[in-house]
């Protein structure tokens, strides 16, 4: 069995079961004398809640996930062709499909006893969007072997936006004024593409801003936890010093009692 096969099994487990199962797999590989496989298994990361939820979606709704990934291939093809009409249609489908699948993933997680919050649902959407753009992420989503949430700021090689702005063909026409109606049609199509690109970029910016807010809130929580931990450390350090002093005092008392016993035994032996 390869590490990929084992990863498929491990990432199908609940996060709370992952470490124990991974440890058992590592031991089994070592016992079988396969140190390389054992090391590879040991490097598999415990999935985050978001990753586990996406992995659950891949297992429970494989047809829906495959349909989404096929849409990603169509988007990449349209991106390469700079087809504004295709991109507008596919981008709308992308947003609807990602939103629907994120909600479905959340429902599945709840059915399995692990309901997720809005922040996790947002990360699921970002991860599915990344899978549409990045074949490597798509493969992890397809096999249900994600370890962490993923984001993607660009789509394909054409630039930073998720939708390319189609270049008007009239710009390359040596005599654009000869056919003003065609030029107007192409300009209107380019305008629609630009609006679609703007809308997609705005969606990405809003998602990033929301994610930033979540991270900042988490940082504030961690700082509070750190302050409490620091206070607890100071208290425990003081307790430890007191305990050490008590230990030394009782050790001295014990030493005195042992010497007393020895002296008493010597007197008994001398009678």
* 150 and 22 inside one domain: no
In a domain? residue 265? no
pTM, rounded to two decimals? 0.54
Specify whether 88 is located in the same domain as 168: yes
Calpha distance 19→239 (Å, rounded): 34
Based on the fold, state whether residues 55 and 38 are members of the same structural domain.
no
87 and 27 assigned to the same domain? no
**pLDDT > 80? residue 173:** no
Q: In the prediction, which pLDDT does 90 show? A: 65
Would you say 168 and 187 are in contact if contact means Cβ atoms under 8 Å apart? yes
* Containing structural domain, residue 36: 3-42
Q: Do the beta carbons of residue 128 and residue 68 sit within 8 Å?
A: yes
Residue 271 within a domain: no
The answer to whether residue 104 is domain-embedded is yes
Look at residue 118 and tell me if it is in a domain. yes
- Between the alpha carbon of residue 115 and those of residues 10, 55, 123, 142, 145, the distances in Å are 20, 15, 14, 22, 20
For residue 149, what are the contacts with CB-CB under 8 A and spacing of at least 6? 48, 50, 51, 123, 124, 126, 127
67 lies in the same domain as 99: yes
Residue 95 shares a structural domain with residue 72: yes
Q: Is the dihedral of CA 251, 255, 260, 265 positive or negative?
A: positive
Q: Mind listing the pLDDT tens digit for each residue in 104-128?
A: 999 999 999 989 998 889 999 989 9
**Domain match, 94 and 218 both:** yes
Assess if residue 252 is contained within a domain.
Answer: no
pLDDT tens-digit map of 250-265: 999 999 998 999 888 8
134 & 64 share domain = yes
Is there a single domain that holds both residue 67 and residue 190?
Answer: yes
Tell me how far apart the alpha carbons of residues 19 and 34 are, in angstroms, rounded to a whole number: 20
Total number of domains constituting the chain: 2
**Percent of the chain with pLDDT strictly greater than 70:** 76
């Amino acid at each position: 069995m390869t590490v990929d096969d084992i990863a498929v099994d491990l990432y199908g487990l609940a996060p709370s079961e992952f470490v124990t199962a991974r440890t058992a797999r590592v031991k089994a590989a070592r016992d079988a004398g396969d140190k390389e496989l054992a090391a590879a298994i040991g490097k598999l990361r415990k999935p985050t809640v978001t990753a586990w939820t996406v992995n659950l979606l891949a297992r429970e709704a494989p047809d829906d996930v495959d349909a989404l990934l096929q849409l990603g291939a169509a988007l990449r093809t349209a991106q390469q062709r700079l087809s504004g009409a295709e991109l507008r249609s596919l981008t709308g489908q992308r947003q609807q499909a990602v939103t629907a699948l994120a909600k479905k993933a959340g429902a599945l997680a709840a059915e399995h006893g692990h309901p997720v919050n809005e922040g996790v649902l947002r990360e699921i959407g970002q991860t599915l969007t990344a899978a549409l753009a990045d074949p490597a992420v798509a493969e992890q989503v397809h096999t249900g072997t994600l370890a962490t949430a993923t984001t993607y700021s660009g789509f394909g090689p054409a630039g930073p936006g998720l939708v390319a702005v189609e270049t008007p063909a009239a710009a390359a026409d040596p005599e654009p004024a000869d056919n003003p109606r065609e030029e107007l049609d192409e300009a209107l199509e380019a305008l629609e593409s630009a609006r679609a690109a703007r809308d997609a970029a705005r969606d990405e910016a809003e998602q990033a801003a929301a994610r930033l807010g979540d991270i900042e809130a988490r940082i504030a929580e961690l700082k509070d936890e750190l302050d409490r931990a620091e206070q607890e450390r100071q208290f425990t350090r003081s307790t430890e010093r007191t305990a050490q002093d008590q230990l030394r005092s009782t050790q001295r008392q014990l030493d005195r009692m042992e010497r007393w016993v020895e002296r008493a035994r010597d007197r008994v032996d001398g009678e």
